[in-house]
Amino acid sequence: MLFWILCGAVLLAVTLFLTRALLTGGRKKEHPAFYDLAVYRDQLKEVERDKSRGVISEEDAERLRINISRKVLRADAQIAADAESLSNAGPKAFIGITILLVILIGGGFASYWQLGQPGYQDMGLKSRIADAQETRENRASQSEAEAELPALPPNSGDTEYVQNLIGELREMVAARPNDIQGLKLLVSNEANLGNAKQAYEALARLVSLLGDEATAEEFVTLAELQIIAANGYVSPEAEAALTQTIQLEEDNPVAKYYLGLMFAQTGRPDVAFRVWRNLLNEGPDSAPWIPVIRSQIVDLSEWAGVSFELPPIAELAGPTSEDVAAAQEMTAEDQQDFIKSMVAQLSERLANEGGSAAEWSRLISSLGVLGDTEKAKTVWNEAMLVFAADPDGLETVRASARRAGVAE
């Protein structure tokens, strides 16, 4: 209601101001000729005083009176002409005011109807927080979110041999549901094949069997697989796994990242921004969640109403100028060994510390050049999990995987 009162007050003030300007034409309250008339009256009085003192003769006084009277008549005529012009302008001014009101009121309502939210109640901070909490509590479950997604085609990159192996492994685990090692093997293989749903279902059974022995890594992996299966959506089930992760490992950055994503999805960009900003400050820049945060945190800060400037990122790690100079002096065989060594170092660092999409892309491209397609395929499968919540990053890696012949 306060919004409409303020809008009405502003509209009324603007309308009155413009109406006055149209009706008066910008003229002063008194016509300038009125000042001339006052001067002429004083001049007539001065002529009579000069005549009575004998300063001027009767003939001169009469001549001056006639001259001043002519000026008075001209001033009166000018006042009358302007008054008639203003009177004739009345209808035109009324039409102008009507058009102005139509533009202001009609245009304002049309713009608000298009860009605003008619009928939406004023929302204070407490109301917004309460609505966000309600959204969080009533959001879709894991199964409901998955049901809304289109069915995925089978992975054409999997050979019949691979399909037979995973089929046999599933049958073995089904026959021995309490086999912890079998479940771990099934989770790993399902995840490597990109079967997120089957992987998290197997991992959920594993976590249940382990009970109090389940680790933070297993809980956060469970949440991540559920989020991947739901196309980036953090369901209540995934949130429960993330919460369990934080209870076991308070500073787990992957769990913090996904919890920030959950808050962003449920109407609390302020909380999400604080979580992601802390992760961004903690780094390192090579962490797999950092590129995703950098691509989204500026928009998130605007939704949270926070002024934020994205800090610069460190340059990608790579061969130094000394390395390049040394490689140029090597034989072809030594250069090949040198390249393999650099690729192995990059692979180990990405596996242990993570890295940006550009670095994953570079690793796959290098493996393709070396002809190690099996390793490139393994890295591509892992990258699909790492960048599942980052479509742009995933597409960057996918382009290199296609060139290496390990992705569709």
> pLDDT tens digits, residue range 243-299?
999 999 998 999 999 999 999 999 899 999 999 999 988 877 777 788 888 888 888
* Domain total in the chain: 2
Let me know if residue 64 belongs to a domain.
Answer: yes
Within 266-356, residue ranges assigned H as helices are 269-282, 289-304, 321-328, 332-353
Contact 349, 316 (CB under 8 A): no
Spans of the chain, pLDDT less than 70: 1-4, 18-34, 79-97, 100-101, 104, 108-109, 111-125, 151-159, 161, 313-339, 352-353, 408
Q: What is the domain range of residue 337?
A: 329-403
Domain stops at, among 104, 138, 153: 104
Contact 3, 116 (CB under 8 A): no
Domain stops at, among 64, 79, 104: 104
Let me know if residue 65 belongs to a domain.
Answer: yes
Domain stops at, among 58, 81, 104: 104
Let me know if residue 169 belongs to a domain.
Answer: no
> pLDDT tens digits, residue range 133-192?
888 889 999 999 999 887 665 554 456 767 788 888 888 888 988 889 989 888 888 888
Let me know if residue 372 belongs to a domain.
Answer: yes
Let me know if residue 340 belongs to a domain.
Answer: yes
Question: Does this model's pTM top 0.75?
Answer: no
Burial class of 145 by CB neighbour count within 10 A (0 to 12, 13 to 18, 19+): buried
Q: What integer pLDDT is reported at residue 234 of this predicted model?
A: 93
**What Å distances lie between residue 199 and 170, 184, 221, CA to CA?**
11, 10, 10
Let me know if residue 162 belongs to a domain.
Answer: no
Let me know if residue 78 belongs to a domain.
Answer: yes
- The total number of residues written for the chain in this structure: 408
- Amino acid type, 107: G
Let me know if residue 182 belongs to a domain.
Answer: no
